[in-house]
A and B are shown apart, each in its own frame.
Chain A
Amino acid sequence: RVHGFKANDFKKCETSSFCQRLRDRPDGATREIYSIEGRWEPIGGRGGGWGALLAKAGEPRPLRVELTPYGDEGVVRLRVDEPAHPRYVVPDVLVDSLSPSEFADVQFAQGGGKGGEGARTVFTTKNPDVDVVVTHAPFRVAVRVRGHETTVFNRRSLFEFEYKRDAPPEGESWSESFNSHTDSRPNGPTALAFDVTFPDAEHVYGIPERATSLSLKETKDATGQAVTEPYRMYNLDVFEYLAESPFGLYGSIPVMLAHAKVNGGASKRVFGTGRAFSETVTSAVYFNNPTETYVDVTKSHESSILGKKVQSVETHWMAESGSMDVFVAPGPTPAAVIRQYTSLTGTTRMPPSFALGYHQCRWNYRDEKDVAEVDAGFDQHDIPYDVLWLDIEHTDGKRYMTWDAGKFPTPRRMIEDVASRGRKMVTIVDPHVKKDAGYPIFKEAEAKNFYVKKADGRTDFDGWCWPGSSAYLDVTSPAVRDWWAGKFALDQYEGSTKDLYIWNDMNEPSVFNGPEVTMQKDLVHAGGVEHREVHNAFGMYYHAATAEGIARRNGERPFVLSRAFFAGTQRIGPIWTGDNAADWDHLRVSIPMVTTLGLTGLTFSGADVGGFFGNPDAELMTRWYQIGIYYPFFRGHAHLETKRREPWLFGVDATRTIRDAIRRRYQLMPYLYTLFEAAHREGSPVLRPLWYEFPDDPSVWAREDAVMLGPAILVHPVLTQGAVDVDVSLPDGVWYDFDTGEAHLGPKRWKYPVTIADVPTFVRGGHIVPRRDRPRRSTSAMRRDPLTLVVAPDAGGDAIGEVYFDDGVGFEHETRDAFVRRALTFSRHKELSIADVSVERVLILGAARHGGAVVNGEARDVVAAPASTRDGAPANAVAVRKPGVRIADDWTIALAASAGG
């Protein structure tokens, strides 16, 4: 299959003037140029921030640098701006409630050297483990965790800030051309660059979205030689993107995590395991700037005095405009880093429970009859699903929020019919508006002057998209967003019901005839803001307005899928990884893509199951479902020109295997929902790379062949054609085979034989997983089912878990605390103990003998666990039969001694 990606349609660093100016500078390029002038002073009336002047040699007007603490975990913000021409700072990205905290202490130390050389100021945060050392000349900022430098700015002296100028030099022009497009650049060059070094780090992660490895490869080697293009963040609609490329895709989150060894990288051996562990610290930087940004990554090797090789990762950030505005999340754990980052840009919005079910999409379900047949097909084949989607063809000529009268004459009836079985529908709504005087939305927005303007600032911009010539709503304006949200009212959007939800596509924005398939950078938004200043956030504003509209309808949780995204999108809704292809490479790369998004706060994401372009065979389709069930957002989708691929169209065997996979998704729904609540509360990712759970195990730092669903389930997906076995590698601890209950003591590595029906999946010792084992047709159909608690004891015989429930629909979990969150504990010793939903059974893994159980003083049976899902495999577990307890109550189950062994 030949991919359609056309590299020449897109810019590279060398065809972007700012990147070309900034990239290939040697270390130390600005060493003698930037320095702190005078002393740091508290910023008046603004809480705990401190400011100073940052002098640029040869420039009479100094820059302004500010250092501001947030919260009490040691998060700091480093911002450099030009006081005479304050740069644009993107609004509505940081959470409204964010306000600075205080530094616990600020100490200035006069250096011994002449001319103030060696002068430094140390800011201690409210977290006593975290301080910030600012060296005045040359300007350098180091964040330290327990004295260990984790995040160092300008160590390589690559900081650069281009002052705004009034006019180009005589005879020169600021304009810049690419292909047939010219960017007039009326404000001239205003780029900036900075370097961030992560000492002792071997791996950095983040800066989505791109189809590449989890651990970011270096783009420049240690000698400064370019290996590839730098990583680019510029939201683009990339047709048939490649499965391995540093190229940036539909969304950008300028967050990079680094994972470093502390104590000089010394590792210790843990007795009895034969495995080396390293004490580690994870930290992250967030660059709060939505302009086009390139990042170079270099991995350097230095020899320390002890002769050991110490590695660090050096990064070089180059942005076209805006200010240098960087937040540092000091960690020290991966969970802490994400909690700290999401305290700035928000956590995952609590999704409605149906959103975690399976979504069936296609470009396009043709008509109402097709919709009815596909819906019925799921019940006929006893495959659960929750949402049926309609792509652009459902509209009247790509006029969004209208219906093709021939194919969808009675949309309300259609939606109500699907909803009568507890399911939902989704229609697509894109940000381009067909220029058609007969289309009321177009006319109204035109009359209200709500469109993005051409460079002249007055004429409405028009670009080409699905409907042909289109105008683009200027969603950077709160007034436009408010108006747009109103269009989703049930009495505004004809044919909609409360069971209809929305999908926003093409919101990078995609402009077919624009430079790099998007808007010209010199277009003008509300308030005279140039498009270049806000590009990467544009799609998020549109997404936010749509979600706001859905939330306003009836006070229920909105669900709106987006393709474009930026930092903060997690508090609006899910995204998917765009137009992938039906091949094994795209299947494989979906895993690092989704886990990377989770590490950068946007955990509610998934790749199109089956691959958008092309036709998957039964094997690829089956394998894709088997991993797709673990994508936080789980949707099958297909291009207009592909063969039909509803899950029952690949033969009887494949149908059974796919049904089993989708049922497992639903079986794990209580666990999954609990993980989403944790993501909502503290940002933690639902699907995690192994290193998130095992940060001190160097062997997993770059692994992407297996993933963790929350803390308790490890999945080794089968990602190669014709696989007969999988190289399984389990980290330290006790692991139980999900299918058979068989126990394994990690670290352990072996070839796990597989048939098409098998995916090596393990429950981690020490955890309790809540499940619902009754296969149902949808999430709503299972909302009153009893639970099965799977207890997986660790080597010491203990296990803990959590289960969270609320109504899955509204906001009463927030407004009236209408939720249940239970901590579950199990202990083999002591009393051998372990909330309106009852518990059906408690499944205890790694126990084979039957004994009795006493639940709240009443005797209960302990029986063999239900037959394993794998034929012939023993069920290495026992079940406490009908303990008769409610999950909302306090209770204990005491097992007779024979059960524990």
Chain B
Amino acid sequence: GSIDAGSRVLPRGANPADAERYAAHDGSSAFVCDGGATTIDRSRVNDDYCDCDDGADEPGTSACANGEFHCRNRGHRSISLPSSRVNDGVCDCCDGTDEHDGGARCPNTCLAAGASRRDEIRARVSSARGGVDARRKILEGAPALRRRWQDESVKLEKDVAAQREIVRDASVAKEAAEAEEKKATEAEDRLNKREASKNKGDDDASGNETAVADTAVADAVPTPTPTSTETVDEYPVIEDDAVPELQAIDDVADEREESEEERGRRIAQQWIHGDSESTGTAPSGPSSPADVPDAIRDRATRAKKAANDKRDVHAQAQRTLTELEGKHKDVTKRLSTFFGPNMELAHMVGECYKLTVEQYAYEVCPFGDAKQDTTRLGTMQPVDVKDPRTMVFNGGERCWNGPARSITVSLRCGGGGNKLADVEEPSRCEYAAKLYTPAACDPGEVDALERELAEMEEEARAAMGAPHDEL
């Protein structure tokens, strides 16, 4: 063929693509290089002295620092090497042509190397083909995924609005219960103080002390009625055995399936507005002065319980709201996130990939966090539009005397689903990993790989068919 014809006149190490450059024209013995700036005699091509600044006159020797040596590598792939690899004692070309001064013996290993390289590429092509198919499905699913997120966003927006109402109602109920709780506990405090001072001083207690206690109690109650204060003064000491009675009141209340709140309100009202309102209607309410301390305590207990319940209800509602708002924020953010030019990374949202290396379990959640066991390695940064095959997780837990941990995940084409691989720590606390995923399979690259394979196979056939070809 024409290449063979050219190679006969091609100087050692020259690239066949440059055949024209080395061909003699019109019988001239001039060789032109440096873009026309330098002309030398052809006898100086490959004479082991560098005459051209661009290195073109010495393709087959190491004389030019910037020269290139081309190995044909029949049966494998041709490559270009820096000319510094020529005759350096190391076999760089599988056909051994880079070592031609006898300093190193380099057998031709191209057929074997080519075969194993072709097997490797075949496997890669096969995997990548599967990857491209899988990627197509991923891409096909992307619009639907996006629609789903949009629907989700709309629904969540509504849910958030509805939940805000619930929180507001719960808040009103909570405040009312807390107001009652405050009053009831203050009354109870007053009672306790009064009783404490009575206990302590008994009949010896000075009037002063009692007065102080009274004042304290009075100050503590925002709207005391004179009657109630006086009445409290008269209360007898509550003995321990009075407790079962209080319990009994609760029990009775429970039996009637009165809610905690109702009971609290009811008892509070009975007590505070006892004379004027519904004293008569409370079946187990305090009806005699002797029952009053119990009633106060009963009221406080109920009020506290009611307030706690309302607080719980409110907190729960608030939590639900926060959760919904978070979800809404997430989905809104997701809708504006860059997931690769074809949204090919979107399917990884919410997924986590795991790998155990030696004693460590690594977990990488794209668009979330990465962890080594329970140690956070970092939070994923937005994907760089210019480099959509790299995921950077940073700001992880700080190393002792070192940087905050981070991990860089490189996406590689893989046909068999998403797989985390090759987790390493190239620098202290700076991790690196690969994620094999169909999403990183580029149909163009696979096509190129296939073409390369076809060429290699063609060339191998030619090389094996022509064993006496110049190697």
A882 to B427, CA, bound (A): 48
List chain B residues, Cβ under 8 A from A841: 49
B89 x A422 contact (CB < 8 A)? yes
A644 x B82 contact (CB < 8 A)? no
Tell yes or no: A749 within 8 A of B by CB.
no
Residues facing A in B71-102 (CB within 8 A) are 82, 84-85, 87-90, 101
Tell yes or no: B15 within 8 A of A by CB.
no
List chain B residues, Cβ under 8 A from A783: 89
List 10 extra interface pairs beyond A366-B425, A775-B65, CB under 8 A: A370-B424, A382-B82, A382-B84, A644-B426, A774-B84, A777-B88, A784-B87, A840-B63, A866-B53, A882-B49
User: Which single residue of chain B is at the shortest CB-CB distance from A863?
Assistant: B51
B425 x A641 contact (CB < 8 A)? no
Q: Footprint of B on A, CB under 8 Å? A: 366, 370, 382, 406, 420-422, 640-644, 773-778, 780-786, 840-841, 863, 866-867, 881-882
B84 x A641 contact (CB < 8 A)? no
A881 x B49 contact (CB < 8 A)? yes
Beyond A641-B402, A644-B427, A785-B62, is A776–B49 a contact (Cβ under 8 Å)? Answer: no
B88 x A776 contact (CB < 8 A)? yes
A243 to B55, CA, bound (A): 46
Residue pairs across A and B with Cβ atoms less than 8 A apart, 10 shown, are: A370-B426, A382-B82, A641-B402, A774-B62, A777-B84, A782-B88, A784-B87, A786-B48, A881-B49, A882-B49
Contact of A421 among B49, B90, B358, B399 (CB under 8 A): B90
B90 x A777 contact (CB < 8 A)? yes
List chain B residues, Cβ under 8 A from A773: 65
Tell me, rounded to whole Å, the shortest Cβ–Cβ distance linking B362 to chain A.
Answer: 16
Tell yes or no: B223 within 8 A of A by CB.
no
A777 to B87, CA, bound (A): 11
Tell me, rounded to whole Å, the shortest Cβ–Cβ distance linking B45 to chain A.
Answer: 14
A782 to B90, CA, bound (A): 11
A844 to B90, CA, bound (A): 33
A867 x B63 contact (CB < 8 A)? no
Tell yes or no: B244 within 8 A of A by CB.
no
A781 to B402, CA, bound (A): 40
Tell yes or no: B155 within 8 A of A by CB.
no
Q: Specify which of B48, B84, B101, B402 lies most central, judged by the most chain A CB atoms within 10 Å of its CB.
A: B84
Tell yes or no: B207 within 8 A of A by CB.
no
A406 to B357, CA, bound (A): 11
A205 to B402, CA, bound (A): 39
A840 x B62 contact (CB < 8 A)? no
Tell me, rounded to whole Å, the shortest Cβ–Cβ distance linking B400 to chain A.
Answer: 9
Tell yes or no: B420 within 8 A of A by CB.
no
B90 x A781 contact (CB < 8 A)? yes
User: Which single residue of chain A is at the shortest CB-CB distance from B47?
Assistant: A882
List chain A residues, Cβ under 8 A from B403: 643
Tell yes or no: B401 within 8 A of A by CB.
yes
User: Which single residue of chain B is at the shortest CB-CB distance from A644?
Assistant: B427
Main secondary structure of the interface of A (DSSP, over half): loop
List chain A residues, Cβ under 8 A from B53: 866-867
User: Which single residue of chain B is at the shortest CB-CB distance from A780?
Assistant: B89
Tell yes or no: B428 within 8 A of A by CB.
yes
Beyond A382-B82, A841-B49, is A781–B89 a contact (Cβ under 8 Å)? Answer: yes
List chain A residues, Cβ under 8 A from B424: 366, 370
A775 to B403, CA, bound (A): 38
List chain B residues, Cβ under 8 A from A785: 62
List chain B residues, Cβ under 8 A from A382: 82, 84
User: Which single residue of chain A is at the shortest CB-CB distance from B87?
Assistant: A784
A784 x B103 contact (CB < 8 A)? yes
User: Which single residue of chain A is at the shortest CB-CB distance from B424?
Assistant: A366
A640 x B428 contact (CB < 8 A)? yes
Tell yes or no: B50 within 8 A of A by CB.
yes
Tell me, rounded to whole Å, the shortest Cβ–Cβ distance linking B378 to chain A.
Answer: 16
Q: Which 5 A-B pairs have the closest CB atoms?
A: A781-B88, A641-B428, A644-B427, A643-B427, A641-B402
Q: Specify which of B49, B85, B424 lies most central, judged by the most chain A CB atoms within 10 Å of its CB.
A: B49
Tell me, rounded to whole Å, the shortest Cβ–Cβ distance linking B60 to chain A.
Answer: 14
Tell me, rounded to whole Å, the shortest Cβ–Cβ distance linking B405 to chain A.
Answer: 12
Contact of A840 among B49, B89, B426, B428 (CB under 8 A): B49
Tell me, rounded to whole Å, the shortest Cβ–Cβ distance linking A623 to chain B.
Answer: 22
Tell me, rounded to whole Å, the shortest Cβ–Cβ distance linking B403 to chain A.
Answer: 8
Tell me, rounded to whole Å, the shortest Cβ–Cβ distance linking B153 to chain A.
Answer: 41
List chain B residues, Cβ under 8 A from A643: 403, 427-428, 430
List chain A residues, Cβ under 8 A from B85: 777
A370 to B424, CA, bound (A): 10
User: Which single residue of chain A is at the shortest CB-CB distance from B86?
Assistant: A774
Tell me, rounded to whole Å, the shortest Cβ–Cβ distance linking A321 to chain B.
Answer: 39
User: Which single residue of chain B is at the shortest CB-CB distance from A420?
Assistant: B90
List chain B residues, Cβ under 8 A from A774: 62-63, 65, 84
List chain B residues, Cβ under 8 A from A366: 424-426
List chain A residues, Cβ under 8 A from B65: 773-775
User: Which single residue of chain A is at the shortest CB-CB distance from B400?
Assistant: A641
B12-53 interface bits toward A, Cβ cutoff 8 Å, 1 = contact, 0 = none: 000000000000000000000000000000000001111101
List chain A residues, Cβ under 8 A from B51: 863
Tell me, rounded to whole Å, the shortest Cβ–Cβ distance linking A868 to chain B.
Answer: 11
Tell me, rounded to whole Å, the shortest Cβ–Cβ distance linking B291 to chain A.
Answer: 74
Beyond A774-B84, A781-B89, A840-B49, is A641–B62 a contact (Cβ under 8 Å)? Answer: no
A390 to B429, CA, bound (A): 19
List chain B residues, Cβ under 8 A from A420: 90
B422-451 interface bits toward A, Cβ cutoff 8 Å, 1 = contact, 0 = none: 001111111000000000000000000000
Q: Specify which of B89, B358, B403, B424 lies most central, judged by the most chain A CB atoms within 10 Å of its CB.
A: B89
List chain B residues, Cβ under 8 A from A422: 88-90
Tell me, rounded to whole Å, the shortest Cβ–Cβ distance linking A182 to chain B.
Answer: 32
A866 x B50 contact (CB < 8 A)? yes
Tell me, rounded to whole Å, the shortest Cβ–Cβ distance linking A215 to chain B.
Answer: 37
A882 to B46, CA, bound (A): 13
A420 to B90, CA, bound (A): 7
A778 to B88, CA, bound (A): 9
A641 x B49 contact (CB < 8 A)? no
List chain A residues, Cβ under 8 A from B50: 866
Tell me, rounded to whole Å, the shortest Cβ–Cβ distance linking B68 to chain A.
Answer: 12
Contact of A641 among B47, B48, B90, B401 (CB under 8 A): B401
A370 to B425, CA, bound (A): 10
List chain A residues, Cβ under 8 A from B401: 641
A840 to B430, CA, bound (A): 48
B428 x A642 contact (CB < 8 A)? yes
Q: Specify which of A642, A774, A785, A881 lies most central, judged by the most chain B CB atoms within 10 Å of its CB.
A: A774
A785 to B428, CA, bound (A): 41
Tell me, rounded to whole Å, the shortest Cβ–Cβ distance linking B69 to chain A.
Answer: 13
List chain B residues, Cβ under 8 A from A406: 358
A370 to B84, CA, bound (A): 25
Tell me, rounded to whole Å, the shortest Cβ–Cβ distance linking A773 to chain B.
Answer: 7
List chain B residues, Cβ under 8 A from A640: 428
B98-142 interface bits toward A, Cβ cutoff 8 Å, 1 = contact, 0 = none: 000101000000000000000000000000000000000000000
Tell me, rounded to whole Å, the shortest Cβ–Cβ distance linking B155 to chain A.
Answer: 47
List chain B residues, Cβ under 8 A from A782: 88
List chain B residues, Cβ under 8 A from A784: 87, 89, 101, 103
List chain A residues, Cβ under 8 A from B358: 406
User: Which single residue of chain A is at the shortest CB-CB distance from B53?
Assistant: A867
A776 x B84 contact (CB < 8 A)? yes
B151-182 interface bits toward A, Cβ cutoff 8 Å, 1 = contact, 0 = none: 00000000000000000000000000000000
User: Which single residue of chain A is at the shortest CB-CB distance from B85?
Assistant: A777
Tell me, rounded to whole Å, the shortest Cβ–Cβ distance linking A85 to chain B.
Answer: 50
A422 to B103, CA, bound (A): 13
A299 to B261, CA, bound (A): 95
A55 to B425, CA, bound (A): 69
A406 to B88, CA, bound (A): 34
List chain B residues, Cβ under 8 A from A778: 88
Tell me, rounded to whole Å, the shortest Cβ–Cβ distance linking A838 to chain B.
Answer: 9
A401 to B427, CA, bound (A): 25
B228-262 interface bits toward A, Cβ cutoff 8 Å, 1 = contact, 0 = none: 00000000000000000000000000000000000
User: Which single residue of chain B is at the shortest CB-CB distance from A774?
Assistant: B62
User: Which single residue of chain A is at the shortest CB-CB distance from B63?
Assistant: A774
